[in-house]
């Protein structure tokens, strides 16, 4: 299973792709897109949409996983993050790729074993879990890889047959 993880944001949007096979995880690629603060919001969102669409087209993932919005953020930040999440969801849906969303505490629990892990802990554990030479370059990249790991390791939902 190949999963694109996204840490949504308009100023910085982290991405990471994880491939799971036979219980083994490996990082395919990761990085961070940024948009200029002075740019029109519609253009910033188009940049995110286009980048996600291109990533999905290039790598053909089985799923896109996003981190849910952090509720403690101020209203303005929450609005921008929500808009970025929308751009990601539409890009994935347009490509016919399933999406999943995970609470930050669940992602941290899956990667670190503790739902209130600090950003530095997440970066170190992502490096260890994926066998990377170095920690991801930013917390956005680490969070994106962490959400991809969380999805790749999530137990499949049980299908209820009636």
Q: Left (φ > 0), alpha (ψ -120 to 50) or beta: where does 132 sit?
A: beta
Rounded Cα gap, residues 125 and 80, in angstroms: 28
Q: Which pLDDT does position 79 carry in this prediction?
A: 85
Tokens describing residue 121: 């802990």
pLDDT at 156: 59
Decide if 87 contacts 49 (C-beta within 8 A).
yes
Residue 84: both structure tokens together: 């970025």
pTM of the predicted protein model:
0.92
CA pair distance 3, 17, nearest whole angstrom: 6
Query: How many angstroms separate the CA atoms of 58 and 115, rounded?
Result: 33
pLDDT for the residue 78: 81
Q: Is 113 left (phi over 0), alpha (psi -120 to 50) or beta?
A: left
The first and second tokens of residue 68, run together, are 């849910």
Residue-by-residue pLDDT tens, the chain, 162 positions = 999 999 999 999 999 999 999 889 999 999 999 999 999 999 999 999 999 999 999 999 999 999 887 666 678 888 888 999 999 999 999 999 999 999 999 999 999 999 999 999 999 999 999 999 999 999 999 999 999 999 999 865 544 444
75's tokens: 């209203």
């Amino acid at each position: 299973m190949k999963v694109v993880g996204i840490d949504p944001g308009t100023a910085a949007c982290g991405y990471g792709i994880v491939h799971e096979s036979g219980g083994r995880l490996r990082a395919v690629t990761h990085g961070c897109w940024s948009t200029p603060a002075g740019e029109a919001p519609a253009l910033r969102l188009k940049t995110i949409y286009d980048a996600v669409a291109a990533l999905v087209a290039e790598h053909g993932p089985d799923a896109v996983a996003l981190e849910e919005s952090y509720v403690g953020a101020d209203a303005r930040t929450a609005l921008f993050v929500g808009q970025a999440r929308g751009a990601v969801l539409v890009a994935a849906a347009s490509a016919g790729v399933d999406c999943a969303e995970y609470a930050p505490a669940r992602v941290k629990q899956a990667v670190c074993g503790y739902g209130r892990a600090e950003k530095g802990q997440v970066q170190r554990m992502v490096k260890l879990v994926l066998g990377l030479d170095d920690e991801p370059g930013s917390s956005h990249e680490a969070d994106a890889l962490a959400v991809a790991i969380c999805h790749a390791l999530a137990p499949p939902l049980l299908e209820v047959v009636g």
